[in-house]
Chain A
Amino acid sequence: MEKKITLPRLGETMEMGTISKWLIKEGDEFKRGSIIAEIDSDKTTVELPALEDGKLLKVLCNEGEEIEVGSEIAIFETI
Chain B
Amino acid sequence: MTNSLLPQLYTTMKRIRSFEERVGELFIKGESAGTMLHLSTGEEIGPASVGLAMSEKDTFTTHHRGHGIFIARGGDPKNMLAEIAGKKDGYCKGKGGSMHIADMKLGHLGANAIVGGGIPTVVGAGISYKFLKEKKVSVAFFGDGAMQQGILYESMNMASLWKLPVVFCCINNQYGMGTKIDNAVGFKDFSKRAESFGLNSLHINDLDVENAYHKSKEIIEDARKFKPGFIEIECYRFFGHARMDKSPYRNDSEEKEMRKLDPINYAKSKLIKESIFNEEEILKIDNEILKEMDSAMEFAIKSPVNDKNEIFTDVYSEKDPLPESIDKKINKILSN
- By a beta-carbon cutoff of 8 Å, the part of chain A in contact with chain B is 8-12, 33, 38, 43-49, 51
Contact = CB atoms under 8 A, between A and B. Distances in A.
Contacts of B24: 49
- When A and B form their complex, which 5 residue pairs have the shortest distance between CB atoms, in order from nearest? A45-B246, A9-B30, A8-B28, A11-B35, A46-B244
A60 B28 CA distance: 19
Nearest to A47: B246
B35 A12 contact: yes
Interface residues of B, number: 14
B208 to A, nearest CB: 26
Contacts of B21: 33
B179 to A, nearest CB: 17
23 contacts: A8-B29, A9-B30, A10-B27, A10-B35, A10-B244, A11-B35, A11-B244, A12-B34, A12-B35, A33-B21, A38-B246, A44-B245, A44-B246, A45-B246, A45-B248, A46-B244, A46-B246, A47-B246, A48-B28, A49-B25, A49-B28, A51-B28, A51-B29
Interface of B: 21, 24-25, 27-30, 34-35, 243-246, 248
A51 B301 CA distance: 15
Contacts of B248: 45
Identify whether the interface residues of A are mostly helix, strand, loop, or mixed. Answer: loop
A7 to B, nearest CB: 10
Contacts of A10: 27, 35, 244
Looking at A10, A12, A47, the one whose CB has the most chain B CB atoms below 10 A away is A47
A51 B246 contact: no
Contacts of A38: 246
A49 B24 CA distance: 8
A45 B34 CA distance: 16
A10 B34 CA distance: 9
B131 to A, nearest CB: 46
Nearest to B36: A11
A45 B247 CA distance: 9
A51 B25 contact: yes
Contacts of B28: 8, 48-49, 51
